[in-house]
Amino acid sequence: MPAECTIKKESMDAGHDLPGEGHKARIATFKVFRGDKNTGSEVEYKVPVEEGMVVLDAIHYIQRNISPDLAVRWNCKAAKCGSCSAEVNGKPRLMCKTRLDDFSSGEEIKVYPMKSFPVIKDLACDVSWNFEVNKKITPFTPKENTSWIMNQRDIDRVQEFRKCIECFACQNVCHVIRDHDLKPKFAGPRFFVRVAGLEMHPLDGADRLEALKNDMGIGFCNITKCCTEVCPEDIHITDNAIIPLKERVVDRYFDPVKIILRKLFVKR
Amino acid sequence: MSTLDRFEIHEHDVIVIGAGGAGLRAAIEASTNGASVGLVCKSLLGKAHTVMAEGGIAAAVANVDKQDDWQVHFKDTMKGGKFLNNWRMAQLHAQEAPERVLELERWGALFDRTNDGTILQRPFGGHTYKRLCHVGDRTGLEMIRTLQDKGVHMGIDVYMECTITKLLKDDGKISGAFGYWRENGKFVIFKAKSIILATGGVGKAYKVTSNSWEYTADGQILAYDAGAELIDTEFIQFHPTGMIWPPGVIGILVTEAVRGEGGVLKNKDGFRFMEKYDPERMELSTRDVVARSIYLENKDGRGSPHGGAFLDISHKGADYIKKKLPSMYHQFKELADVDITTGPMEVGPTCHYSMGGVKVEADTTATSIPGLFAAGEVAGGMHGANRLGGNSLSDLLVFGRRAGLHASEYAKKNSSKLKLDENEMKLAEKEMISFFERDEGENPYSVHTDLQELMQNKVGIFRIEEDLKYAIEQLKILKERAKKTKIEGSRMYNPGWHMAYDLQNMIIYSEAIAKCALQRKESRGAHSRIDYPNTDPEHGKWNSIVKKSNDGSLVIEKSPLPEMPKELQDLLKEKDLVKK
Ligand SMILES: Cc1cc2nc3c(=O)[nH]c(=O)nc-3n(C[C@H](O)[C@H](O)[C@H](O)COP(=O)(O)OP(=O)(O)OC[C@H]3O[C@@H](n4cnc5c(N)ncnc54)[C@H](O)[C@@H]3O)c2cc1C
Ligand code: SF4
Ligand code: SF4
Ligand code: FES
Ligand showing the shortest atom-to-Cα distance for residue B330: 4
Residue B465 Cα to ligand 1 midpoint, Å, equals 31
CATH number of A128-257: 1.10.1060.10
Residue A1 has pLDDT above 60, yes or no: no
Pairing of strands B121-122, B132-133: antiparallel
Q: For residue range A239-267, what is the model confidence (pLDDT) as tens digits? A: 999 999 999 999 988 877 766 766 666 54
Strand order in A85-88's β-sheet?
A40-48, A27-35, A109-112, A85-88, A91-94
Range list of H helices, B363-494: 391-413, 422-433, 444-458, 465-483
Asked: is A7-125 a CATH 3.40.50.2300 domain? The reply is: no
**Residue B239 annotated as catalytic:** yes
Q: What is the pLDDT of residue B540?
A: 97
Alpha carbons B216 and B507: distance in angstroms, whole number:
9
Residues with CB under 6 A from ligand 2: A 5, 174, 176, 189, 221-227, 238, 242
Residues of B with CB below 8 A from A54's CB? 248, 335
* Closest Cα to atom 2 of ligand 1: B53
Q: With beta carbons less than 8 A apart as the criterion, state whether A227 and A159 touch.
A: no
Q: Which of B141, B490, B501 to mutate to test the interface with A (most CBs of A within 10 A)?
A: B141
How far does B577 lie from chain A, in Å, by closest CA? 31
- A198 near A204, Cβ under 8 Å? yes
- Distance of alpha carbon B178 from alpha carbon B187, whole angstroms: 7
Question: In chain B, where does the domain assigned CATH 3.90.700.10 lie?
Answer: 239-352
Helix axes B70-80, B566-573, angle to 10 degrees: 80
Write out residues in chain B with pLDDT < 70, as ranges. 1-4, 575-580
Cβ pairs bridging A and B (under 8 Å): 167
Q: Cα–Cα distance between A228 and A238 in angstroms, integer?
A: 6
DSSP strand pairing (B542-548 vs B230-231):
antiparallel
Whether the predicted model's global pTM rises above the 0.90 cut:
yes
What's the full length of chain A, in residues? 268
- The mean predicted confidence, pLDDT, of chain A is 89
Phi, psi of B240 (to 5 degrees): -65, -30
CA distance A123 to B493: 10
What pLDDT does A25 receive?
65
| Residue B511, pLDDT score | 98
Catalytic residue, chosen from B12, B73, B122, B259, is B259
Dihedral (Cα; B380, B385, B389, B391), 10-degree rounding: -40
Domain layout of chain A by residue ranges: 7-125, 128-257
Nearest residue (by CA) to ligand 1, atom 38, is: B199
Query: Given a cut of 70, is residue A3 above it in pLDDT?
Result: no
Distance separating alpha carbons of residues B228 and B75, to the nearest angstrom: 29
pLDDT at A259: 64
Parts of chain B belonging to CATH 1.20.58.100:
422-543
User: Is the per-residue pLDDT at A2 higher than 60?
Assistant: no
pLDDT the model gives residue A14: 33
Gap between the Cα atoms of B238 and B259, Å rounded = 16
Please calculate the CA angle A231-A77-B18 and round it to the nearest 5 degrees. Answer: 100
- The alpha carbons of chain B give a radius of gyration, in whole angstroms, of 23
Distances (CA, A) of B426 to B430, B431, B435, B436, B525: 6, 9, 15, 16, 43
Predicted local distance difference test score (pLDDT) of residue A266:
52
- CB proximity under 8 Å: A 50-89 to B: 50-54, 57, 63-65, 67-83
- What pLDDT shows up at residue A6? 39
Classified as helix, coil or strand, A149 is: coil
Instruction: Give the single-character DSSP code of B302.
Output: -
- In this structure, whether the domain defined by B239-352 belongs to CATH 3.90.700.10 is answered with yes
What gap in Å lies between CA B574 and CA B566, rounded to an integer? 12
Nearest CA to ligand 1 atom 32: B199
The conformation of residue B301, written as its DSSP 8-state character, comes to: T
Which protein residues are within 6 Å of ligand 3, measured from CB?
A: A 82, 164-170, 189-190, 193, 230-233, 235, 237
The three-state secondary structure class of B358 is: strand
- Ligand 2 mean position to A3 CA, how many Å? 9
What pLDDT sits at residue B3?
61
- The predicted pLDDT at position A20 comes to 42
Among the bound ligands, the one closest to the CA of A194: 3
Q: How far is the CA of B49 from the centre of ligand 1 (A)?
A: 4
Predicted confidence at residue A18, as pLDDT, reads 36
Examine the pLDDT at A168 and tell me if it is beyond 60: yes
Distance, CA of B97 to chain centre: 18
Determine contact, residues A153/A223, Cβ cutoff 8 Å. no
Q: Quote the pLDDT of residue B203.
A: 96
Q: Reduced to 3 states, what is the DSSP secondary structure of residue B269?
A: coil
* Per-residue pLDDT at B248: 84
Interface contact flag, A67 B488, Cβ < 8 Å: yes
State the pLDDT at residue A181: 83
Q: Is the CB of A245 under 6 A from ligand 4?
A: no
Q: Mind listing the pLDDT tens digit for each residue in A191-224? A: 999 999 999 999 999 999 999 999 999 999 999 9
Where does B422-543 sit in CATH, by number? 1.20.58.100
Helix (H) or strand (E) segment spanning residue A140: none
Q: In the prediction, which pLDDT does B388 show? A: 96
For B342-355, what is each residue's pLDDT tens digit?
999 999 999 999 99
Between CA A203 and CA B111 the distance in angstroms is 13
Confidence bin at A17 (pLDDT 50/70/90): very low
Q: How far is CA B144 from the centre of its chain?
A: 15
- Kindly provide the residue ranges of all beta strands, DSSP E only, lying in B132-278, ordered along the sequence: 132-133, 157-159, 162-170, 173-181, 187-197, 230-231, 236-243, 264-266
pLDDT at B238: 95
Q: Give which of B426, B371, B359 is closest to B172, Cα–Cα.
A: B371
Q: Mind listing the pLDDT tens digit for each residue in A116-131?
A: 999 999 999 999 999 9
